[in-house]
A = this chain, B = another copy of it.
Amino acid sequence: MEHPQSKADEILRCARTLIIRGGYNSFSYADISNVVGIRNASIHHHFPSKSDLVRKLVAQYREEAAAGLAELERNVSDPLEQLRAYVGYWESCIADATHSFCVCALLAGEIPVLPEAVVLEVRAHFRGLCDWLASVLERGDAQGRLTLTGTAHANAELFMATVHGAMLSARAYGDASTFGAITRPLLNRIAA
């Protein structure tokens, strides 16, 4: 039970990589068992239903995201640089096929067909990310490092939407550099 990487965690990781490719309905238990050395039925031992699996997957993703942002806060103090680091993180992810999209951004598009429990997690991620962005923008504005038009919250929503849209465009064009081409002007625009 004290594996450094438990089987349940392996399943979660694998499912995350699979879900990033094409969403909730694009992968099956069989896909997971083909990658992780485990039988189809054994996955149900750890996650009774697909809904459970994906809910936990998103919950874990949110925890990691929160931890990542907390570390970012620790390592970088300047608000503008924090935003740059956040965007830079995603820029490096886009090039990597296994992490080339935000799990929640992808699932958000499929919300009408998602189990309610998953929807709640996705929504919570959007709120949490927006709140963090708003706090950074607010601080940057107070410090005179950024110039905002409108409320910090409104700017945060716009910032988040643009980042998610940039992921979509990068996928559509099949060109990772698109992400940077969109987000760089976005950052420059709010820089004082």
Contact = CB atoms under 8 A, between A and B. Distances in A.
Q: From A25, A109, A150, name the one whose CB has the most chain B CB atoms within 10 angstroms.
A: A109
A114 B157 contact: no
A125 B108 CA distance: 21
Interface in A143-166: 149-150, 154-155, 157-158, 160-166
Given A123-B174, A174-B111, A161 B157 contact: no
Contact of A22 (B113, B126, B157): B113
The count of identical subunits is 2
Nearest to A113: B22
Contact of A123 (B163, B172, B182): B172
Contact of A157 (B23, B158, B169, B174): B169
Given A22-B114, A101-B109, A157 B171 contact: no
Most chain B CB within a 10 A radius of its CB, from A112, A122, A154: A112
Nearest to A110: B22
B162 A169 contact: no
Interface of A: 21-26, 97, 101, 104-106, 108-114, 119, 122-123, 125-127, 149-150, 154-155, 157-158, 160-166, 168-169, 171-174, 178, 181-182, 185-186, 188-189
